[in-house]
Amino acid sequence: MVVKKVVITGGPGTGKSTIINELIKRDYTCFEEISRQITLEAQQKGIDQLFLTNPLLFSEHLLNGRHQQFIDASKSDSNFVFLDRGVHDVLAYMDFIGDRYPKDFINICNNIVYDYAFILKPWEAIYESDNERYENFDQALKIHEHLLSTYQSYNYNLINVPFGTVEERTDFILNTLIT
């Protein structure tokens, strides 16, 4: 059996993790977002926002972690594996802040291909800032544009997830995969 790897992407506060949690409740195999974990570990070392302090180091941790998630997903015995963000998100965020990244970042993105890529648009009604999310809603809109551009540059046909309840959004994703 070939595992279908499904990335769910979108700017901050768009509902990705909420959908991943709903998929977990429905017994799907999922890999959760790792940026919060990296941020929290840095905060425990006294670095408030590693992405702002050292974006390249933060992004390297993210890229390596998401690459490992992709490898682990490939070993699953599930039909579909859902990933909260993909390796391409790293490039989009680096482009958003206008920072350079090494060629091996691009090479990893060239070598990783998700079977499906869903994108969630910024939704002001559900957007919330918190301890690990530093972006405001206007920045979330700009990040969304960078995500679109990055994934499209790697030839992804992004599937827009419509606004709705978490159940409706999750059903949309699942129905799209089944049909």
Radius of gyration (Cα) for the chain, nearest Å? 16
The structural domain count of the chain equals 1
Q: Which band of pLDDT confidence, cut at 50, 70 and 90, is reported for residue 125?
A: confident
CATH for 19: 3.40.50.300
pLDDT at residue 158, rounded to an integer: 97
Crossing angle between the packed helical segments 55-74 and 87-97, to the nearest 10 degrees: 160
Three-state DSSP at 108 gives helix
Contact 12, 133 (CB under 8 A): yes
Q: Exposure of 76 by Cβ count < 10 A (0-12 exposed, 13-18 middle, 19+ buried)?
A: middle
pLDDT at residue 131, rounded to an integer: 52
Residue 110's domain spans which residues?
4-178
* Torsion, Cα of 31, 80, 168, 92 (10° steps): 50
Short-list 36, 30, 33, CA closest to 9: 33
Average pLDDT over residues 156-174: 97
Sequence-separated (6 or more) residues with CB below 8 Å from residue 120? 8, 9, 10, 11, 14, 15, 16, 19, 161, 169
Given a cut of 60, whether residue 132 has pLDDT beyond it is: no
Helix (H) or strand (E) holding 150: helix 137-153
Between 133 and 127, where is the model more confident?
A: 127
C-alpha dihedral sign at 91, 128, 163, 177: positive
pLDDT at residue 23, rounded to an integer: 98
Q: Alpha carbon of 133 to those of 35, 67, 140, 174: distances in Å?
A: 10, 22, 10, 28
Average pLDDT over residues 4-16: 94
Q: Exposure of 59 by Cβ count < 10 A (0-12 exposed, 13-18 middle, 19+ buried)?
A: buried
| C-alpha–C-alpha distance, residues 56 and 115, integer Å | 27
Q: In this predicted model, what pLDDT tens digit does every residue of 64-122 receive, in sequence order?
A: 999 999 999 999 999 999 999 999 999 999 999 999 999 999 999 999 999 999 999 99
pLDDT at residue 59, rounded to an integer: 93
Given a cut of 60, whether residue 4 has pLDDT beyond it is: yes
- Looking from the CA of 123 toward its CB, the CA atoms found within 13 Å total 18
